[in-house]
Structure 1
């Protein structure tokens, strides 16, 4: 779906809003909009505290409300970027981004990242954010999606494999977690021919 200005001066969705019901929970997946910035700034901090599967510890690389407003605006305007949110009862509980590269040699691909509040794990939110992102890339002529995933995050690795991602490389001793040990990061990609 192409972006357009709606009656409230906001950009309309890049994807069609999806309502999903899994295990008795109903949630919506839609494009991020300007008014989501405050909630995104707050839940990103919470998510960073809840898992070691992401790159950051709580408070690192903090993005404030204005930073998210700028990020959302840039993603809406950039045809190679997609910013999605998952919403339960008007509360954002997860989000994902596909970020493209403007260099011609890399214009065929985007990098995918996703995070979901721990209380909402097990409802297929990450899976459906990924599914919508793949559908968007396929319909926009983007040939490749790449991502990085911690080697111990077996659930995510299996999910990515279900969607056609393959391990393309291993970054050895890439991260030091709270236990003081070093862990590898898998570089995975999905190529759509």
Structure 2
């Protein structure tokens, strides 16, 4: 589904939150690999689960056509700084919910981009009959967990020793959800 573009003007930066377009596909492919290499908060190592330009074109096309999906881009000075997706479910028993995921380039952390993408996703969900948004977050990502809590997400479960990071230790994944009546 498409949203109306939002321009954010703040003390720290000016940026745009908008729907992904097929023309973003090549840059998205490169950005995803870069973001995966900047943090261990995400599921992939750089290059794992690689999606090429064609794959992103297909994903964007499908998300644009499906009212249960939302693919957002954060753009700073004409360059992609991050992206988020809400992916719904076609099974009737799960059609009330969507899963949220986000990735922001490290150079743009702390500018409120994640907050804006999350709020835009929540607004979209509420306007389109999505009652529940779910997400998974690494237990050490305290800033993200605090942000999600501020926006009404609650911890619904813990996947114990779910991820092994570069330090060789195992970490829990926190499952969070937000339900809107």
* TM interval, short-chain normalised: over 0.9
Question: Structure 2 residue aligned with 1:91, among 72, 79, 82?
Answer: 79
TM-fit CA distance, 1:167: 0.1
* Cα distance in 1, alignment partners of residues 47 and 103 from structure 2: 15
Q: Deviations over 1:131-176 (max 9, x none)?
A: 0000000000110000000000000000000000000000000000
| d(CA) in 2 for partners of 1:24, 1:185 | 31
The corresponding residue for 1:188 is 176
**TM-score normalised by structure 2 residue count:** 0.99
Name the SS for the 2:129 alignment partner: coil
Residue 66 of structure 1 pairs with residue 54 of structure 2: yes
Are 2:115 and 1:155 aligned?
Answer: no
The 5 Å alignment of 1:1-193 reads 14-193=2-181
**Structure with more relative contact order (C-alpha pairs < 8 Å, separation 6 or more):** 2
TM-score for the superposition, normalised by structure 1:
0.93
Aligned structure 1 segments of 4 or more residues deviating by more than 6 angstroms:
none
* Unaligned runs of at least 5 residues, structure 1: 4-13
Distance in 2, Cα, partners of 1:40 & 1:53: 19
Give me the whole-angstrom Cα distance separating, in 2, the residues matched to 1:155 and 1:65: 31
Distance in 2 (alpha carbons) for counterparts of 1:54 and 1:23 = 28
Aligned equivalents of 2:156, 2:10: Cα separation in 1: 32
| Separation (CA, whole Å) in 2 of partners of 1:139 and 1:123 | 26
The SS at the match of 2:158 is strand
Range with bigger deviation, 16-25 or 172-181? 16-25
What runs of 5+ residues in structure 2 fail to find an aligned partner? Answer: none
CA distance in 1, matches of 2:161, 2:12: 40
Kindly report the root-mean-square deviation, in angstroms, between the aligned alpha carbons of the 2 structures.
Answer: 0.7
* Equivalent-residue separation in structure 2 for 1:29 and 1:191 (angstroms): 24
